Structure 1
Amino acid sequence: MYRWNPEDYARHSSGQEAWARELLTGLALSPEDRVLDIGCGDGRITAELARRVPAGAVVGVDLSEDMVLYASNQFPTAVHPNLTFRQADARDLPFEAEFTLVFSNAALHWVRDHRPVLAGIARALQPGGRCRMEMGGRGNAAALLAAFEAVAGAAEWQQDFLEGFELPFGFHDVDDYRRWLEGAGLRPGRVQRVDKDMVHADRTAFLGWLRTAWHPYSARVAAERRGRFLEAVVDRYLSAYPPDRAGQIHVTMVRLQVEAYKPVPGT
């Protein structure tokens, strides 16, 4: 497990937040909905979900204890009585028929095998409940990953990546996901891959995002050398994909968008 810096994440996750707010569009929440947010991070979107279900309840879960503590402090129960945060592993969700909606944004691609995740979602949902999720899909951030790989293979850094290095990501495709949903007892609705442009205001913002979110690579490098490693990745990426005329840096991302529901018995 990687150590997340919640404050740094809050400063450099505007892209993830924007996509989460897109995912909220058309969600058609009822005031009484009970919502589970998997991978709640710093809690901003989880708190927005709680605001939209004033007579319901929202639980945000995250594997990172630091993120859960930060979110709990930012959005305390005394101020948000229908909102709680818990540490939990998406592969082993501890809920049974508690929720009418499961929501997740930019989180589940941190899990390779999604079958135990979907089984836990099916358990957590009440009959007739639904899930709406978005995560990295097959081909996500391919150009950026190529830049990381090129730098990691260079003479200065290759020793850091020789022993036991593997990426944790599960970037999956539509057909696999539909099959896994059905295997978990969930009926697929819309399942599709969507290309999205992640835009960073400048080099500093881009570097902040790499530092905040790309731990599988950066954590392999000693702290005193990590900044130089990430600068080298930025240089490599920008040599192939330079900033636009406004100085903004673009990264093509592939998102897998998933909607499904738990059928009522007999339907």
Structure 2
Amino acid sequence: MPEPMYSLQDLQYLMQRLRDPQDGCPWDKEQTFASIVPHTLEESYELADAIARNDMAHIKEELGDVLFQVIFYSQLGTEQQAFSLEDVIHQLTAKLIRRHPHVFPSGELHSRAGQPQQQTEQVKASWEAIKQQERQQKQQHSLLADVPLALPALNRAAKLQKRAAKVGFDWNDISKVIDKLHEELAELEQAQQGGDKAEIESELGDILFCCVNLARHLQVNPESALRSTNRKFERRFAYIEQQLHSRQQAIADSSLELLESLWLEAKQQLG
């Protein structure tokens, strides 16, 4: 006979027990909103990694870990009488209904519009207009006001650029983006010759920002592109290590010429 399935309510109860002042877990009882954030980020990256590998078993597991972060924060909110999990779910549901008027025409959860008539780009435009209204209601008058500072830099750069592009602050020709990249590379070279570390960092940042802009114009997610390149580098480097191991040769003792030769072999064999 299969074991009964645990429910969301069971998970909430478990969280309450972990935080119980008398017989809860010492580590869990010490945690705060701020102390959990690194774990939340780590779990999110682990989920992204499982998705990138299309590992369904681990996707299921990592989704559970991410859900536990929500349960943990909600328990802290309940203890501080700030909000509950029910409040979180209600606010999320209300927001999604509000942002999808083409699906919920009367603003009610069970209202239906039938087959949506809007195209994807129209839906995106409507979504952004509604979000802008929400920002104004929160007195966030800047278009960039709610772009999270904690986002990975590549993702945040893409989001900033996307926001600015929606009001026309954008190149209308990808060739201009490429020209700008060449310009930034030249400025980095000048800074490098000058030896000013702060200036070098600034110019390198401009290049990375420009690369994100180029990715956006090419409709490529820069974070995904770099993750893919990281995996490619790992595969090729592992090939070099394997080849040197078969020769009983340490990588640190190998010449750059040999390493480059093996790198080219890896490219040819692994792509």
Q: Which has more radius of gyration?
A: 2
User: Which one has the bigger helix percentage?
Assistant: 2
Higher share of residues assigned strand: 1
What TM-score do the two structures reach when normalised by structure 1?
0.22
Higher relative contact order (CA 8 A, sep 6+): 1
